Structure 1
């Protein structure tokens, strides 16, 4: 039936239909190439996503390890900003300062100097002094502990 229809057309119409068919075939080829490129891009994206997930997991594991080392270290550790505000503190610091852990964050470290000094004096016979050259220039803490040959009796 299609063949009969084509034969009933004039040569110019048949030529136009042939050109349209060629254009459709060329468009389909272009679409196939575009599809293959998109599929390749998706495959590359999948590989990149997997690598990012693995890196993220590795980063989290390392973060957790250092978080645990910091927070459960037997020695008191504090992280402050340049103004002396406590950003992080571990459990040992909270115990040394005799303050609940969550109270330390955001407080000036200088608030706790008397507690530190008292504990150091009681435990080791030492002293601690805080000095600062000015606002926003940080604080220097000097700890002096005596050298002894025998344990201090408490």
Structure 2
């Protein structure tokens, strides 16, 4: 599995911790920035990860900002992205099993490092269940297509 990860300045420290964690787990990843805690705009990084996942270059993406909200909204504007903001393990598992989420959003100012690592592990290890959930994910895609310009 290939993972792309990015953050704004508000998620930079957590991103660095998650990168170390991915390395310890031998997960192949690429860091799309930011590369310091200097102020940047989260939509730029959400879009970069969203495009990289939607294009098929990466299997999944992880985005991080202060709350995880703004960067997840930005990533979700990219057609084909289903970014899920998760602050607990149950939501991480359900976002994969039921929603086939392909981007995980985390908030550095909301959750601790150890919980974030657990969420990442569960999210990366959980497969989409398909079945009745496939129909629902297809409906999400249909909504996206309906409003595409």
TM-score range, shorter chain: under 0.3
* TM score, norm. by length of structure 1: 0.25
User: Which structure's CA Rg is the greater one?
Assistant: 1
Structure with greater strand share of residues: 2
